Amino acid sequence: MKILMVCLGNICRSPMAEGIMQAKIEKYKLSAEVDSAGFEPFHTGDAPDQRAVKVMKMHGIDISAQRSRLFRKSDFDRFDRIYVMDSGNFNDVKSMAASPDQMKKVDYILNILHPNSNIPVPDPYYGGEEGFEKAHQLLDAAIELVAVELTKGVL
């Protein structure tokens, strides 16, 4: 299973989600890969936001080596599941899809907890560290369920 986490700049939510998923892959010894991407070219090649790095480190996960990259059309071929953080990300991914089949791979990450609700993971970029902690809590709960479902072969 190859999973892609997507947000706007690929410096806050999606690198946090990638780091959490990687930790779950190791914890559950899953046969899976994870990556992250975004749509805002301003941060391409940048490390994750320092507040994201700090919060993740507090939870025992080091994301400091990650680098932002842009979402590519080829990601539809490379990944089995594409999880977005909000409706803007969903619409950005949808705008690059070549077919309805490609969109079958795409879902809001929090839909795993609240099916069909399309609840966003709030973007913590313009707030304080508490927003990054809240994003971590939401992502960790959702990704734990993703990992459990992978162990059961549900996903």
**132-155: burial string, b at 16+ Cβ within 10 Å, e else:** bbebbebbbebbbbbbeebeeeeb
CA 9 vs. chain centroid, Å, equals: 12
Task: Report the catalytic residues.
Answer: 7, 13, 123
- The CA dihedral of 119, 133, 123, 105, to the nearest 10 degrees, is -50
The H-or-E segment that residue 83 falls in is: strand 81-84
Task: Yes or no: say if 97 and 86 are a contact pair by the CB < 8 Å rule.
Answer: no
| Residue given tokens 């190859």 in the structure block | 2
